[in-house]
Amino acid sequence: MAEFIARRAMRAILTIWIAVTVTFFLLRLLPGDPTLLVVEGDMTPEMQQALREQYGLDKPMLTQYWLYLTELARGNLGTSFRQLQPVTDIIVSRLPWTALLAGSAFVLTIVLGIPLGVYAAAHRGKRVDRVVQMFGITGHALFVPSIGILLLVVAGSWLGWFPIGGAIDPDTRGADAYVSLLHHLALPLLSLVVVQLGPYALTLRTNMLEVLGEDYIKSARGRGLSPQRTLWRHALRNAFLPALTLMGLQLGTLVGGAVLTETVFAYPGVGRLIYEAVGQLDYPLLQGAFIMLAITVVVANLITDVISMLLNPRIRA
Partner 1 sequence: MSAMMPPDTGPAGAVAVDEPAASTPPSAMKSLRRFLAKPSGALSISMLLVFLVTGLLGPLLVDRPGGLGSEILRSPSVAHWFGTDDLGQDVFAQVVWGTRVSLTVAVAASAIAIVIGTALGLLGAYSRRADAWVTTVTDLMLSLPLLPLMIMVTALVGPSVTTLTFVIGLFSWPEVTRLIRSNGLVVVSMPYIDGARALGATGWRIVTREVLPAVVPLIVVSVLLTAARAVISEAGLSFLGLGDPDSWSWGRIILNAQRSGVISTAWWQTLFPSLAILLLVLSATVAGVRFNDSRDPRLKDR
Site for partner 1 in 135-154 (CB under 8 A): 137-138, 140-146, 149-150, 152-153
Residue 308 binds partner 1 (CB under 8 A): yes
Residue 274 binds partner 1 (CB under 8 A): yes
- Residue 79: φ, ψ to 5°: -115, 135
- For partner 1, which is the closer residue by CB, 4 or 178? 4
x-or-dash string of contact with partner 1, 78-117, rule CB under 8 A: ----------------------------------------
Q: Choose, by CB under 8 A, the member of 79, 88, 261, 287 that binds partner 1.
A: 287
Phi-psi region of 32 (alpha: psi -120 to 50; beta: other; left: phi over 0): left
Residue 51 binds partner 1 (CB under 8 A): no
Total residues contacting partner 1 by CB under 8 A comes to: 78
Tell me the sheet residues that pair with 86.
Answer: 79
Neighbours of 171 (CB within 10 A): 8
Neighbours of 272 (CB within 10 A): 23
Count of residues for the chain?
317
Residue 314 binds partner 1 (CB under 8 A): yes
x-or-dash string of contact with partner 1, 184-213, rule CB under 8 A: ------------x--xx-xxx-xx--xx--
88 CB-near residues (< 8 Å, 6+ apart): 75, 76, 77, 288, 292
The angle subtended at Cα 178 by Cα 247 and Cα 83, nearest 5°, is 80
- For partner 1, which is the closer residue by CB, 172 or 308? 308
User: DSSP secondary-structure letter at 31?
Assistant: S
Residue 217 binds partner 1 (CB under 8 A): no
Residue 289 binds partner 1 (CB under 8 A): yes
Are 224 and 180 in contact, with CB atoms under 8 Å apart? no
Residue 252 binds partner 1 (CB under 8 A): yes
- Residue 86: φ, ψ to 5°: -60, 130
User: What is the number of alpha carbons within 13 Å of residue 110 lying toward its C-beta?
Assistant: 21
The angle subtended at Cα 237 by Cα 235 and Cα 238, nearest 5°, is 70
Q: Choose, by CB under 8 A, the member of 9, 50, 112, 241 that binds partner 1.
A: 241
Q: Taking the complex as a whole, how short is the minimal distance between the CB of residue 290 and partner 1, in angstroms? A: 4
Residue 37 binds partner 1 (CB under 8 A): yes
Residue 166 binds partner 1 (CB under 8 A): no
Q: Taking the complex as a whole, how short is the minimal distance between the CB of residue 170 and partner 1, in angstroms? A: 22
- For partner 1, which is the closer residue by CB, 161 or 178? 161
